[in-house]
Amino acid sequence: MPKIAPLNTVDSLETQLVARLCNTLASYLDEEHVAQCVRAYEFGAAAHTGQFRKSGEPYICHPIAVAISLAEMRMDADGITAAILHDVIEDTGVSKQELATQFNKEVAELVDGVTKLSKIDNKSHAEAQGENVRKMFLAMAKDLRVIIVKLADRLHNMETLGVMLPPKKRRIARETLDIYAPIANRLGMNTMRHKLEGLSFEAMYPFRYAVLSSNIKKARGNRSKMIDTIENTIRARLQEAPFPCDVAGREKNIYSIYKKMVKKKIPLADVFDVYAFRIYCDDVDACYRVLGMMHNLYKPIPGRFKDYIALPKENGYQSLHSVLIGPYGVPIEVQIRTHEMHRMSESGIAAHWLYKADADKTRNFQALANEWLKDLLEIQKSAGDSLEFIDNLKVDLFPQEVFVFTPNGSIIKLPRGSTIVDFAYAVHTDLGNACVSARIDKQLIPLQTQLESGVTVEIITAEHARPNPLWLNYVITARARSAIRNRLKHIEGEEALGLGRRLLENELAAMNIQLTQIGEEKIASLLKIMGIKTFNRLLEDIGLGNKMPFLVAKQLTQDDVHTHVKLDDGAKSQNRPLMIKGTEGMVVTMAKCCRPIPGDTIIGFFNPGKGIVVHQHDCHNHALIKKKQNNWLDVEWEQDAKGDFATEIRIEILNQRGSLATIASTISALDSNIENVTVVDQDARVSVDSIILTARNRVHLAQIIRRLKELSIVLKITRVKG
């Protein structure tokens, strides 16, 4: 909230800002639209009466400054109006409906999109910020001007951070670097990004900024002669071209310099050892011809050429980049682009308003931004909470692309480090959910393989395949991560529902009652008491171990469901044991302490939120389980229990070359997979290894152990049961 300032505040700054805004607006808007913006100023000034910023200036000066930034981008009248009014909903008594009445619905929606969420109870700052950003992206999907206004708002806040306390300065600066500067970059607004980064760097590290800024100025003076020499040489060569083009030295952004120093652990002198120039041409053909001239003038460094004209960046940025060896062996970085590409690279999505005469050329930026927002909307729908959404967003905001091909020749852009699974989800969510393997250039490769530019990827799918939770350990794109989590939640819900129904039916059967015999009124009454919306939700809770099936069955069969059954009354199910099939999925898991397999005597333990964990009856945790009478149940294997179950053996073998390979091939020959091998102890003669392998049942495991005992290198073998 703005703070109340002293009464002697002078409004000269406000007057100057309003005059500057009106002059800028008059240069491109008609009188009617300028009048609308002036009316918005009068309305906003009245609403913010008595409110002052911490610097002491009238609060209305802030929205006017934001509006000036947008006016310089040639924003339309509704966008300027929204900028002037962007804080009235949050900081005054004005409602969204009142704005719609006073101006129009479009302005009201824009202001609401920029407004922070209010009254976020019991949430940390990080969660509140996550909710705000989430809401902002939803508004962006309706109107891209929301983010333009928000970026201009953040820029002015960063420019006026001086009066803030250092901890708050650093927090706002970190937030700007993490979210807003990358968004500006993602939308191609490089000028805005550089300003936000520089101001954030200065606020976070004022001493580093001052020292670096001072040294850059000194270095620039020392380098001026070399820069002039190289620029004159390049200019002289370009004059030989039969088409017009120009060259200019490129200023390095101070935050970019700092990042490079930190990342590469090099001093400023080494960063400034590279001389950077931009060459501007009239058309694309001239860009490639100039590239040839530069490579003929100075030798290019192999592997340092990038063609962002043929393959633009995700944000639409286009240019040719090449690093050359200049005079005295100094590196020269050259960027070659058309004048149009340069304007677009500086303004990005804002070029839609800034260069309306070239609307056709800005359409590509609009399409790219809308495509990105569409992906973000898909991500936010399946994100569990605002913090998960922010994590996904940050992943998506820092891309370094690789380009790979589908079998039909389509190009897919992915962040560097993306895997096969990321590629599958980038093509289509259903393809990612069903993928089991892949081929790169016709060679089978693991799903965790990281992709390189230029390869052709073919995804192999299976009808009943499902995402593996382990994929979350190596996927890097927000889209893949969000889709995997969403699908796993869905699968877990389905499996919990099925298990919960089986558990409840089991308990009711012991009471000689069928679930279908329970009246809907009794079920509805129980759901109301428990505060659960649907019967399926109750079944899911039972399957996940959040509700005990015996107690639910008791309440459903009582004449009065309002009679409370205590969880600690020592009551326990007396029904037949639950039969374990081995195909229940994520809601029935095998305990890693004893690794039971079909044929073992087992016991089930309810782990709230995760379902049933199955232990061997003689597991060392059994005593602990038994103490929690209401959390365990009798379970047995079904006769035809299916699956490959992990179990552990400890084996002592002669420590000689090829021993482990012999063990592995023997296990593989018996249709078993090794999941992990750990060397427990070893000396010159004997190696004691722990092997986790898969077995269908006790009979299968006995076959494996018997075959291993026949090997001359095996001294002893036992099964580990905890």
Cβ 472 vs Cβ 463: under 8 Å = no
pLDDT in tens, 23-62: 988 888 888 889 999 999 999 888 888 888 887 888 889 9
Among 539, 509, 596, which Cα is nearest to 605's?
Answer: 596
User: Is the pLDDT assigned to residue 574 strictly greater than 90?
Assistant: no
Domains of the chain: which residue ranges?
12-207, 212-350, 369-476, 486-637, 645-720
By CB atoms closer than 10 A (0-12, 13-18, 19+), residue 480 is buried
Q: Residue 702: pLDDT band by 50, 70, 90 thresholds? A: very high
Q: What is the mean pLDDT of residues 96-120?
A: 77
| Residue 721, phi then psi, degrees to nearest 5 | -120, 20
Cβ 411 vs Cβ 311: under 8 Å = yes
Measured CA angle at 119 (ends 118, 125), to 5 deg: 85
Identify the pLDDT of residue 649: 92
Identify the pLDDT of residue 63: 92
pLDDT in tens, 602-639: 888 776 656 678 888 878 776 665 555 556 777 788 88
Q: What is the mean pLDDT of residues 572-588?
A: 60
pLDDT in tens, 412-431: 778 778 888 999 988 888 88
Whole-number Cα distances in Å, 270 to 14, 261, 309, 417, 619: 46, 8, 29, 27, 62
What sign does the dihedral 417-422-423-427 (CA atoms) show? negative
Q: Residue 133: pLDDT band by 50, 70, 90 thresholds? A: low
By CB atoms closer than 10 A (0-12, 13-18, 19+), residue 168 is exposed
Q: What is the DSSP string of 685-722?
A: SEEEEEEEEEESSHHHHHHHHHHHHTSTTEEEEEEE--
pLDDT in tens, 168-222: 888 888 888 877 887 787 777 778 888 999 999 999 998 999 988 888 877 776 6
Measured CA angle at 685 (ends 680, 686), to 5 deg: 30
Q: Name which residue leads in pLDDT, 141 or 591.
A: 591
Residue 506 neighbours by CB distance under 10 Å: 19
Cα separation of 599 and 583, whole Å?
A: 16
pLDDT in tens, 223-242: 777 888 888 899 999 888 88
Q: What is the mean pLDDT of residues 447-462?
A: 83
By CB atoms closer than 10 A (0-12, 13-18, 19+), residue 432 is buried
Q: How is domain 212-350 classified at the CATH fold level?
A: Beta Polymerase; domain 2 (3.30.460)
CATH superfamily of domain region 369-476:
Beta-grasp domain (3.10.20.30)
Residue 308 neighbours by CB distance under 10 Å: 18
By CB atoms closer than 10 A (0-12, 13-18, 19+), residue 48 is buried
User: Is the pLDDT assigned to residue 120 strictly greater than 50?
Assistant: no
Q: Residue 142: pLDDT band by 50, 70, 90 thresholds? A: low
What are the residue numbers of the active site?
Answer: 90-91
Give start and end residues of each alpha helix (H) in 435-563. 478-510, 520-530, 535-543, 549-557
Q: Give the full edge-to-edge strand order of the sheet including 588-590.
A: 578-580, 632-637, 602-607, 611-616, 588-590
For 665, residues 6+ apart whose C-beta sits below 8 A from its C-beta are none
Identify the pLDDT of residue 495: 66
Measured CA angle at 432 (ends 427, 438), to 5 deg: 90
Q: What is the mean pLDDT of residues 510-529?
A: 74
- Report the run of H or E that residue 232 belongs to, with start and end: helix 206-238
Cα separation of 420 and 400, whole Å?
A: 16
Q: What is the mean pLDDT of residues 658-671?
A: 88
Q: How is domain 645-720 classified at the CATH fold level?
A: Alpha-Beta Plaits (3.30.70)
Whole-number Cα distances in Å, 186 to 134, 373, 562, 628: 16, 11, 57, 54
- DSSP bridge pairs for 445: 438
pLDDT in tens, 364-416: 555 655 565 556 555 555 555 555 555 555 545 545 667 778 887 777 778 77
Identify the pLDDT of residue 13: 80
Cα separation of 298 and 301, whole Å?
A: 9
Average pLDDT, the chain: 78
Q: What is the mean pLDDT of residues 525-532?
A: 74
Residue corresponding to tokens 């053996």: 649
Instruction: Determine what percent of the chain is predicted with pLDDT higher than 90.
Output: 10
Supply the CATH classification number for the domain 12-207: 1.10.3210.10
pLDDT in tens, 536-561: 777 777 766 666 676 677 667 765 54
CA atoms within 13 A on the CB side of 195: 18
Cβ 643 vs Cβ 595: under 8 Å = no
